[in-house]
Structure 1
């Protein structure tokens, strides 16, 4: 897999990935494919981006982030006009010790999303989840909830 470095969204790629409820793409995004919407400019690698519609012409993007000593999970919302919202460089979804990798995202149909990822905080790979609302506030336990924990049984 190619190292993506900094995360940005290029207009044409977003139009391809982004759909609103009736299946039509949003035309409010920059039409020039060389104009980027900057999502994260932190140092370190930002990898494995996933994107989902917010059902209002915008999108929520989640990624694994290497700005610290371990990989963590961050998310950011972009509105229908292409403006990046929430916290600059992303809302912390999980920054527990150990690596968090391979995020996946689905819409909650209320402008937010539910995010899952692989998590190594306990010395084994577990699956965790977090819900983020339309304003970018996490809704479940800090650093997510375990939905599938490693067991030797």
Structure 2
């Protein structure tokens, strides 16, 4: 399958990101208590209310949807503008996600990666890295977003 992305963004958005989203889906569905407790550093594992468990499961479901949409969009489109708009939409989501985590964690914890748990690295570190790669891709740092030879359709003129 071909994609319009250069090599680095391809491996980040077409391989690594979907795999991490499936992992997030699995953890949220299979162990919602651990998933919820691990969102912030120094949070104790507790029994979840049905409402909190539902929110964890819905978050996992969103991870699954995001992974499937990414694969569907990035491997199906031959339009550069679609890829760019998809990356902009995810970048805006990254900014919203990081802002929400910062708001809840507070600056003291948010800007102290040496105190982060593994899940905090996912919540903050990986999200920030994805945002930077999205920006780099959009500005052409890794090369142009363009159709690869196998996606270019030649039209015969009459």
TM-score by length of 1: 0.30
> Which structure has more strand as a fraction of its residues?
1
* Higher RCO, Cα 8 Å, sep 6+: 2
Give the TM-score normalised by structure 2. Answer: 0.29
| Richer in helix (by share) | 2
